[in-house]
């Protein structure tokens, strides 16, 4: 276990230094959700006056959705960098060393989640400057645990798919197909009461919806609400299952 933690920490720092050398990519993943937040905040602001819509402005309602967008855009491409390392021979060189195979996967997943959390912090600060309301600082801080769990889950899926597909093109296609549909099949943009029945059924198995509802409860100050406990339980299982699958794929494919 000590070796696993040590190897993961070392590789995590390696990937962090690589990210610091390419700040434009991180900036791009921040700008896009901010644009969505501002555009949708203006485009759908009158929706907040409809009967049945939760109290508050639409931008207050949509901020958790914009944060989850950052998670999706920041993690769905995680497997692409793994494929590039495989093609450049970097992974092959690591495999002939005593480094833990599990650490190779976990370091990438944790690095992706860490990067996304930094991006979400920036987005939240900008949103608060624009007047988005949140009940408490503790709720905002706790929401980043949800961000971490969701990031770990989707980053693991992306890395697992990379090992399975072995090519960038189908991985990019699947990543694009995975992001927007999951957003639309959740309460990120509209309340569940506005959804057709068949979409409400899909939200029951959509990790995006559990994450959005939990963050929204945190922002409203309802830290002990049912949506928080349900969301945490679902996201922990989602992260564990995704990470286990990605690790198994990597170990099997690298043997």
pLDDT score at 37: 75
Query: What pTM value is reported for the model?
Result: 0.89
pLDDT cut 90: percent of the chain above it: 16
**Predicted confidence (pLDDT) per residue in 186-213, tens digit:** 988 888 888 889 998 999 999 999 999 9
CB 143 within 8 A of CB 67: yes
pLDDT band at 176 (very low <50, low <70, confident <90, very high): confident
CA distance 165 to 146: 28
Tens of pLDDT along 5-54?
787 888 888 888 877 777 666 666 667 777 777 777 777 778 777 787 87
Task: Give the chain's mean pLDDT.
Answer: 83
Coil, strand, or helix at residue 28? helix
Alpha-carbon span 118 to 48, nearest angstrom: 30
User: ∠ CA(221), CA(179), CA(62), 5° rounding?
Assistant: 30
pLDDT score of 147 more than 90: yes
How high is the pLDDT of residue 243?
92
Residue 159 pLDDT greater than 70, yes or no: yes
The label of the residue with tokens 């555009």 reads 39
Cβ-contact 162, 79 below 8 angstroms: yes
Distance CA 110, CA 219 (A): 25
CB 150 within 8 A of CB 236: no
In the chain, domain spans: 2-254
State the CB neighbour count (10 A cutoff) for residue 25. Answer: 12
């Amino acid at each position: 276990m000590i070796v696993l933690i040590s190897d993961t920490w070392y590789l995590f720092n390696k990937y962090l230094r690589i990210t610091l050398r390419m700040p434009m990519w991180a900036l791009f993943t921040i700008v896009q959700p901010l644009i969505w937040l501002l555009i949708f905040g203006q485009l759908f602001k009158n929706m907040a006056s409809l009967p049945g819509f939760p109290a508050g402005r639409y931008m207050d309602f949509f901020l958790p959705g914009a944060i989850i967008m950052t998670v999706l855009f920041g993690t769905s491409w995680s497997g692409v960098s793994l494929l590039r390392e495989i093609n450049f021979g970097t992974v092959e060189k690591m495999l002939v060393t005593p480094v833990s195979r599990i650490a190779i996967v976990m370091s990438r997943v944790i690095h992706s989640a860490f990067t996304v959390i930094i991006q979400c912090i920036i987005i939240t600060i900008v949103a608060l400057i624009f007047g988005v309301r949140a009940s408490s600082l503790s709720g905002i801080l706790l929401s980043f645990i949800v961000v971490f769990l969701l990031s770990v889950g989707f980053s693991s899926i992306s890395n697992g798919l990379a090992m399975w597909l072995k090519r960038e093109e189908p991985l990019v296609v699947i990543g694009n197909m995975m992001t927007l549909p999951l957003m639309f099949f959740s309460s990120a943009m509209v309340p569940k009461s506005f959804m057709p029945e068949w979409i409400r059924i899909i939200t029951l198995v959509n990790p995006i919806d559990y994450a959005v509802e939990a963050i929204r409860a945190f922002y409203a100050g309802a830290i002990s609400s049912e949506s928080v406990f349900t969301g945490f339980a679902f996201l922990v299982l989602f992260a564990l299952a995704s990470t286990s699958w990605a690790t198994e794929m990597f170990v099997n494919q690298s043997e």
